[in-house]
Each structure stands twice: as C-alpha cells, then as structure tokens.
Amino acid sequence: MQTIASDIDKIRSDFPILSRKVHNKPLVYFDNAATTQKPQVVIDAIVNYYTDLNSNVHRGVHYLSQQATTAFEDVRTKIQKFVNAKYRHEIIYTRGCTESINLVAGSWGKANIKAGDEILISALEHHSNIVPWQMLCEEKDAKLKVCPILEDGSLDMSALSALMTPATKLLAITHISNTLGTVNPVKEITRMAHEKGIVVLIDGAQALSHMKVDVQDIDCDFYTFSAHKVYGPMGIGGLYGKEEILNAMPPWQGGGEMIKNVTFEKTTYNELPFKFEAGTPNVGDVLGFGAALDYVTAIGLDFIAAREHELLEYATEKLTADPLIRIIGRAPEKASLISFMIGNIHPYDAGTIIDQFGVAVRTGTHCTQPLMDSLGIPGTIRASFAFYNTREEIDKLMEAIVKVEQLFL
C-alpha cells in the first residue's frame, strides 16, 4: 500500500462506491465528516465473517466460536495500538461515540456526580456530547457549564481556565469540531483540567481518521471513537478509559458476558473489558473495523494528514475567491472540512442544487444546534474531505455553487 500512496486513482479504486454515478454524474462525496466511505477490504471482512466464521464469541469451545473470539479480540489489540492505550482491556466495544459518552455518563457520572457539582463542555459540541450531560445534571441537580469560542471558531482558552472551579468534576470536549473543523489542543486542555482534579473525556469522533491519536500522551481519562468515521462500518466503535477509573466504575448495562457469577440472590461482575460489554456483540462489524484500521495504517496517517491539508487549502482558496461565500470557522488549526454560506441562501436550498451535480455535501445544523444559535445562523453547507478526494472534485463543487448563485441571487 505504501508504494501507491501517491496514486490517488489506485486508492480511489479501493472504494467501490466512488465509481458510481448520482443524477447521471460521477459521485463527488464531500460528506466524510458524517460518515466515510468503505474500502473493499472492509466490505470483504464483514462478508467473510458471515460466510465462513459466523459464531458467537466467548461462548463456546467449538472451532467457529474459538476462531471468532480470537479474531474479535485481535481487533481490540489493533485498536489499543492505534490509539496507544496502555492495556488492551482499556478498550471497551460500544456502538460508537454516542453510546460511549452515554456509558460514561450512566456509569462514572451517576457514581461520581452529586448535587452542586459542575460538568464543563464547550460551545463546539455535538448533541451527543451535550444531551447525556444535560440528562445527568437534571438527575443529579448538577450544573452544565459551556466554554465559549472566539470569533475564528477556536476555543476561548482563557474562559476555559476560568470556568474550571473546585465544583467542576468533569470536562467533556471534542477533539475536532464536526461543524467548524477546529482542532482543540486536547493535551494542553487535559493538563489544565488535571491540575484542578477534573476528569477529562475527549470526543474523538472526527479525529481518528485525520491524525495520530495517542491517549497516553494526551493523558485523557476517557476517549471515544466511531468506526464509521474512520472508513469502517456503522454501529461499532469504542471507549478508551484508564484502567483504574474503569475498574472503579459500576457496570452500565446488565446481562450476559458482563457477569462472573449469577444467582437469584446476588451477581458478581466480570473483569475489564467485559464488565461493560453486556450481550452479544457486533462481531462482524468489529472485524470490519479491524480491516479499516489495517487499511488506514497501510496508507499511512502522515500521508492522509498531508493529503487532506492540501485539499483543505485548495478548497479554502477557491471558496474565498468567491465574494458571495462566507466561511464559518477559521481557526488556525483545522481539520479537512469547511462550513460555509452562500449569500443569504438557505443551506437546504443550496444543497439541493449542489446535489444535482452529483456532489454530496451536508446541510443544516450538523447536530450542533446550540453552536448555530450562538452564531446567529440557520445552518451551513459543509464540505468535508477525505484523502481519496481530489482537486478536480473541488472544482466540480465550485461549478455547482455558481449554478446556485445564478438561480437564487
């Protein structure tokens, strides 16, 4: 794979969907922040599981169960190495970031948050890193505080520091904003929080596909991730948590697998990571996730980061050259996505026309309605890029935007 890293046509051929047409035009897929496309090796891994290996894991001594279990746990090791967790059992399988955050809120939060305590988030957060904490605060009579952002879309670090008080027990913050592309300095933020005894959760939904993530270097207490954002299947992801914190947390859900011994009088719980993995897991998609991580590793995160930065710069240059376009979010450190508005045209109207050119962009609030409200806008058009995208596709987006302007302005 390394030898063809510069051969974008070869890389694109690894993704079957990129060869299809939409409205009789070649698909231009710029909705990668919502979900990335899947290489054939990921699709094959899922099909191969159900074709040759389908069996429940950890449940049997027969050959298929043992083989499935080995493959399932091997992926846990791949994830551990990918994010540089200290131990494999610090990786908990979940359905993705939303479930991971709910797990922390429902287990750590319910055990540790009390009346009068504070939970701190930022104005950049996705709904899945807002609502679970609101629910917890309502239940515990705690307070949710929000750190504002600066005009360029970067986090107000001075305000963040001031908002950290003795009552603040948890900081939950995104690594990369799914709406503005802002890359938060999570290592520095974690250090600031830990100096005040605050537990830190990082929402890594947008980060894992764009950059190297080292949870030990960041020193965060929790880190969440979703496979479908990193070229893997939907419905699978995970939670990293420090061993000592996970061990101290009560189980979140009850059922099979998370138990050690069950009687009608009392149940004792399993060890990590199984204490938090009740029920039959999504084995096929776990194996698909493993194939995605292998693929990304072979392509190389350094190459991916450089390629996507090049696309970001090119798209920013093209969009900035149009006086009718207003880019929302210009933080110095940005991932490869751009949110923008075209004059006073509603994003949905613009997106509908852009779609007719075969160009897939996201329109609306991007599950960050409070952020949009604070910016005083109804939503944006969001073009998010992956390493398999091209400059020529960005040019097609610009052609579609010209048509939008002709029709509405």
Length of the chain: 409
At residue 35, the 3 state secondary structure works out as coil
Helices (H), 17-126: 40-48, 63-83, 97-104, 110-112
Q: For residue 182, which of 206, 164, 160 has the smallest C-alpha distance?
A: 206
Q: Any residues with CB less than 8 A from the CB of 55 and at least 6 apart, and which?
A: 62, 64, 65, 67, 68
Crossing angle of helices 63-83/283-299, nearest 10°? 40
320 and 327 Cβ atoms separated by less than 8 Å: yes
The rounded distance, in Å, linking the Cα atoms of 409 and 397 is 18
Q: Tokens in use for 344?
A: 């006073």
Which residues belong to the active site?
367
The rounded distance, in Å, linking the Cα atoms of 371 and 122 is 9
Question: Distances from the Cα of 184 to the Cαs of 48, 122, 160, 202, 220, in angstroms?
Answer: 39, 10, 12, 10, 13
Q: Tokens in use for 127?
A: 């709904």
- Residue 282, phi-psi category: left (phi > 0), alpha (psi -120 to 50), beta (remainder): beta
360 and 33 Cβ atoms separated by less than 8 Å: no
Q: Tokens in use for 279?
A: 């029920």
